[in-house]
Amino acid sequence: MATNISELARLFVRLGLTAFGGPAAHIAIMHDEVVRRRAWLSEQQFLDLLGATHLIPGPNSTEMAIHIGYLRAGWRGLIVAGVCFILPAMLIVLVLAWAYVEYGTTPAATWLLYGVKPAIIAVIVQALWELGRKVIKRVWLLFVAMSVLILYFAGVNEIVLLLGGGVIVMLVMNARRLRDENVLSVMPPLLGLATPMLAAASFNLTQLFFIFLKIGAVLYGSGYVLLAFLRADLVVSLGWLSDRQLIDAVAIGQVTPGPVYTTATFVGYVLGGVRGALLATLGIFLPSFIFVAISNPLVSRMRNSAWAGALLDGVNATALGLMAAVTLQLGQASLIDALTIALFVIATILLLRFKVNTTWLIAGGALAGLIAKGLG
């Protein structure tokens, strides 16, 4: 059943304004909204879309928003959901970038994150539990997820883990078919776009756009991987940014709601004002809309294929392990005293027992942070 465009827009504008905590948190919040509360998608549909986002470059949570929009309202939904998720965060970052350029500093958000992060961790834990019950169809898939968790902390690259886990599960689940038939498995090539770098002695907007278009088209992984790409192109190769400016840009992407990739908005504004911000944002997010439009019709076919369906199962189990690893890291950094631990416990109870909406949980966490700062 199709979804009203205005309903889709309202949901993703709200998420763009309130979804703090990075991709793992965004995905957990989307799961709560579109699976548990609205029943727009089944658990399996949600998991398959999540697996599909890990097989293409770009920001996973933004691509989930675009996938959901496309499934619910076609091409208009694809555009509306993606834009409504990105736009609020972009505008917030734009204001912060203006303050940074005008006053040489970024507004403090420590008090906000102090209270928000415990609530976010509760949301992720709940999503891990519910998704895990669907993903772990066999005991050995739990072993795969746990192995990924351990290997992640051992320093193994997350893309290697995702693809390796997917391929291993695909081969194990199709071992009999592999023996019985002379099957030559052909893995689809990773879609990428290498835009040639134009040597330039001075800044120009066209080159800025193509730098971010290239990054959006080839980047897998976390915000830390984004940091490496930006540093190589904008600090080392072109000298347009200083390391300090780059760190400030990534920090803004981390502490604001919505997609972390709005770091591009900040960088674009610092380098080229409003036009630079708009071009950088368009460049980094445009490939995601294209990749989702191409891949979405293939997801149901993948689920119906023994080989591709097993690959999705493997990627989903691996993604669950990675989400658990990120949750442990967030918990270590966020649950730092008695008050944050108490906020986490209260948020978990409210979420699991009373089914409180995640937006209210996050708003309550922000208020608690403000009160704590005021009392401190």
Among the listed residues 326, 298, 321, the one whose alpha carbon sits nearest the alpha carbon of residue 49: 298
- Which of 248, 270, 287 terminates a domain? The answer is 287
Residues 257 and 293 in one domain: no
Looking up tokens 């950088």, which residue turns up?
280
Q: Return the closest-CA partner of residue 218 out of 152, 287, 127.
A: 287
* Amino acid letter, residue 270: V
Q: How far apart are CA 286 and CA 193, in angstroms?
A: 12
Task: For 247-303, write each residue's pLDDT tens digit.
Answer: 777 667 766 788 878 889 999 999 999 999 999 999 999 999 999 999 888 877 777
* DSSP code for 241: S
Mean of pLDDT over the chain: 81
Query: Which structure tokens are listed for 17?
Result: 């304004």
Going by C-alpha positions, the residue among 145, 162, 130, 132 that lies closest to residue 52 is 162
Question: Is there a domain that residue 203 lies in?
Answer: no
Q: Looking at residue 128, what is its pLDDT? A: 81
End-to-end CA distance of the chain: 51
Same domain flag for 165 and 298: yes
Question: Residue 107: which domain range?
Answer: 5-189+288-375
Report which residue type is found at 67.
Answer: H
Residues whose CB is less than 8 angstroms from the CB of residue 203 and which lie 6 or more positions away in sequence, other chains included: 238, 240, 271, 272
57: confidence class by pLDDT, cuts 50, 70, 90: confident
The answer as to whether 22 is a domain residue is yes
Mean pLDDT of 111-136: 77
User: In whole angstroms, what is the distance from residue 282 CA to residue 249 CA?
Assistant: 17
Q: Is 240 helix (H, G, I), strand (E, B) or coil?
A: coil
pLDDT of residue 109 exceeding 60: no
Q: Is residue 305 domain-shared with residue 167, that is, in the same domain?
A: yes
User: Residue 126 pLDDT more than 90?
Assistant: no
Domain boundary among 287, 312, 342: 287
* Residues 54 and 22 grouped into a single domain: yes
| 85, part of any domain | yes
Report the number of distinct structural domains present in the chain. Answer: 2
Indicate if 127 and 242 belong to the same structural domain: no
Residue in the structure block whose two tokens are 């278009």: 213
- d(CA 304, CA 260) in angstroms, rounded, equals 33
Residue 201 confidence (pLDDT): 44
Among 237, 269, 287, the domain-final residue is 287
Q: Is 41 helix (H, G, I), strand (E, B) or coil?
A: coil
Give the pLDDT confidence of 317-363 residue by residue, as tens digits: 887 887 788 778 778 877 888 999 999 999 999 988 887 877 788 77
Q: What whole-number distance in Å separates Cα of residue 75 and Cα of residue 318?
A: 30
What contacts 283, CB < 8 A, 6 or more positions away?
208, 209, 210, 211, 212, 213, 215, 216, 264
How far is the C-alpha of 31 from the C-alpha of 38, rounded, in Å?
10
Same domain, 108 and 164: yes
Tell whether the model's pLDDT for residue 192 goes beyond 50.
no
Asked whether residue 55 falls in the same domain as residue 182, the answer is yes
DSSP state for residue 174 in the 8-state scheme: T
Confidence check: pLDDT of 219 > 60: yes
Computed on alpha carbons and rounded to an integer, the radius of gyration of the chain in Å comes to 21
Residues 346 and 305 in one domain: yes
H/E run at residue 350:
helix 338-354
Angle at the Cα of 337 (from 333 to 343), degrees rounded to 5? 90
Q: Say yes or no: 111 and 248 in one domain.
A: no
Higher-pLDDT residue of 131 and 353 is: 353
Q: Within 10 A of 7 (CB to CB), how many other CB atoms are there?
A: 13
- C-beta separation of 8 from 246 below 8 A: no
Domain shared by 10 and 119, yes or no = yes
In a shared domain, residues 228 and 275: yes
Question: What's the CA gap between 337 and 111, in Å, rounded?
Answer: 14
In a domain, 201, yes or no: no
> How many CB atoms within 10 Å of residue 251?
14
Q: Please check whether residues 141 and 224 belong to one and the same domain.
A: no
SS3 for 276-294 is HHHHHHHHHHHHHHHHHHH
Q: How far apart are CA 376 and CA 374, in angstroms?
A: 5
- To 10 degrees, the CA torsion angle through 225, 230, 232, 237? 170
pLDDT value, residue 48? 86
- Domain membership of residue 32 (yes or no) is yes
Q: Are 71 and 41 in contact, with CB atoms under 8 Å apart?
A: yes
Compute the average pLDDT of residues 307-318: 78
Q: Which range is least confidently modeled, 14-28, 74-88, 184-198, 309-323?
A: 184-198
pLDDT higher than 80, residue 180: no
Mean pLDDT of 137-148: 87
| 194 lies in some domain | no
pLDDT band of residue 60 (cuts 50, 70, 90) is confident
Per-residue pLDDT band for 177 (boundaries 50, 70, 90) equals: low
Predicted pLDDT of residue 189: 40
Cα 54–331–30 angle (5° rounding)?
45
Examine residue 204 and state whether it is found in any structural domain, yes or no.
no
Residue 198 forms part of a structural domain: no
